[in-house]
């Protein structure tokens, strides 16, 4: 039986060592290397070159990629994507949802005294409301799985307990949106006992965007590659259980992060 994985933000690309890649794209590539795996890539523009290139990865026997339109801002995209999967591709269940779509606008992250509420709302709309839209749309198929998993690609900055570590870095709009998303990921853990629902910090992944943001914030840039992040998170996903994983916030290496 095939494993069916849906990954959003699959074309959210960064420039790393002259190659366009990103965490969502990395998940698509790695899952397609596994036999009997259907990877549904949620992208904002399925006809774009970045999106169609997802179908050019090496594919293991019995595996394939499907592109669907999912913009995290849209009230209808995720619901319509599920209808496409059911009617056009005959898919009646989803096993793993990776909520990877998100935004981080460095210029929008100011101190509380200076921040614009419109910037805060934009981050919340994508990073938190987008997760709710995705869960509501996918749950009817997710609950058909024998081992349903909903993974949120969050951020360490979304930890209230860990706020002191980021106290001098003005990540207010971004961090607040991740905190809100974390709340709902934890809430669905309690509302759906069969679901493995958890949040992860993907690590400090070195990308062109992150480098530019770090320079603007006056902090050093150190971290891991996209491949390192994705492979570590795949290990976490492979070993996830309701008893040990659901309702938790984990670092890329599987170590718990306080909420």
Residues recognised as catalytic: 174, 178
If you write DSSP's letter for every residue of 130-184 in order, what string do you get? Answer: HHHHHHHHHHHHHTTSSS-EEEEE--GGG-SGGGGGGTTS--HHHHHHHHHHHHH
Distance CA 116, CA 126 (A): 16
Residue ranges in 168-225 assigned as alpha helix (H): 172-191, 208-217
Which three-class secondary structure state does DSSP give residue 25?
helix
Contact 248, 185 (CB under 8 A): no
Distance CA 244, CA 106 (A): 35
Q: How far is CA 39 from CA 64, 144, 254, in A?
A: 6, 17, 23
């Amino acid at each position: 039986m095939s494993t069916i994985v849906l990954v959003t933000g699959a074309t959210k690309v960064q420039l790393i060592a002259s190659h366009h890649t990103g965490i969502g794209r990395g998940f698509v590539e790695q899952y397609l290397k596994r036999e009997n795996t259907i990877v549904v890539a949620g992208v904002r523009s399925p006809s774009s070159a970045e999106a169609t290139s997802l179908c050019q990865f090496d594919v293991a026997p019995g595996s394939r990629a499907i592109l669907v339109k999912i913009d995290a801002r849209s009230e209808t995209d995720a619901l319509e994507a599920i209808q496409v999967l059911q009617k056009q591709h005959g898919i009646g269940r989803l096993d793993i949802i990776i909520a990877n779509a998100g935004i981080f606008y460095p210029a929008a992250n100011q101190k509380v005294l200076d921040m614009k509420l419109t910037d805060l709302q934009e981050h919340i709309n994508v990073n938190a409301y987008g997760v709710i839209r995705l869960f509501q749309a996918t749950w009817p198929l997710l609950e058909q799985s024998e081992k349903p998993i909903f993974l949120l690609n969050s951020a360490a900055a979304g930890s209230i307990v860990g706020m002191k570590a980021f106290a001098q870095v003005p990540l207010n709009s971004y961090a607040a949106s991740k905190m809100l998303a974390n709340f709902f990921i934890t809430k669905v853990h309690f509302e759906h006992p069969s679901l493995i629902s958890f949040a992860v910090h993907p690590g400090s992944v070195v990308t062109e965007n992150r480098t530019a943001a770090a320079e603007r914030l006056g902090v050093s840039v150190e971290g891991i590659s996209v491949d390192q992040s994705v492979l570590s998170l795949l290990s976490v996903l492979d070993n996830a259980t309701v008893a040990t994983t659901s309702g938790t916030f984990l670092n890329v290496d599987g170590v718990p992060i306080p909420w």
